[in-house]
Amino acid sequence: PVVMYQYSGPSSQEVLNRWQIDWMDAFAAAGYVVVCVDGRGTGGRGRDFCDVVYRRLGYFETIDQIAAARYASSLPYVDSSRIGIFGWSYGGYEALMCATAQDCPYKAAVAVAPVTDWRFYDTVYAERYMLTPQQNEDGYRDSAPLWRTSSLACPLLIMYGTADDNVHPANSLEFVSRLQRQGSFCDMNHSIYGCNSRAVVYAKMLDWFNKNL
C-alpha cells in the first residue's frame, strides 16, 4: 500500500536532498510505501512552474498529484487498489481537492487542518494568489473543496485543532456540515497540539490507513 504525502503550497518544497527521521519512517516500517511529489505551483523549478497556479489554486496541483498516484500504481511493488493521500494545512486542502476529484484514484484520504474555501483564510495570503472574491469569483468557487463535497470518492479523516490560529476550525466544520446535509459522513479527530497530541495525530492516521487501505 502507498501513502502519498504532499504540501503542494505555492513556492514550497518537500522533496529535498536531506536526512531526517519522521513519521514517514514509522509508516515505512509498518509496510507502507511513502511517496512525496512536488507538483506545479511549488518551488525549485523556476518562476513559470510556480506561477501557473495564480488565480486558480488547487487545479494544477490536483492534476499532478493524481498523475503521480497513477504512476505509482504502475510500479510492480505497489498495490494499485491501496493508495491513500495525506496532507497538513495546504496539504490538507490539496488532499480534499484530490479526494473530491472526478477521477480520484485514492482508497482513503487524511486532511489535517485543511482550508476548505479561500474565503475563510487570511486575505493577505489568499488574495496574493487569488485576488479578491469579487475579482475572481469563478476561481474561488472552483478552488474550494467546500463546493465539491458531493464528489467525495473515498473514506475521509479530517483532523483539526480547536485553537488553530492559522486555519480556522470553521473550514473543517463547514465542510463536515455540508457532507452531513448531503447524507455523507467522514471521521473526525480534534487533537493536534499539547499533551503529546502530535503522536496522537500520526497514530490516528496510521490506524485510519490500516483500516481503509
Give the residue numbers annotated as catalytic, written as ranges. 89, 164, 190
Here the cell at position 66 is 493524481
CB 107 within 8 A of CB 32: no
DSSP string, 66-102: HHHHHHHHTSTTS-TT-EEEEEETHHHHHHHHHHTST
Beta bridge partners of 86: 5, 110
CB 110 within 8 A of CB 95: yes
**What ranges in 53-196 are assigned the alpha helix state H?**
59-73, 90-99, 123-130, 137-142, 170-181
Residue whose C-alpha cell is 518544497: 13
At residue 211's C-alpha, the angle toward residues 193 and 30, to 5°, is 75
CA distances from 197 to 7, 144, 168, 203 (A): 21, 28, 18, 9
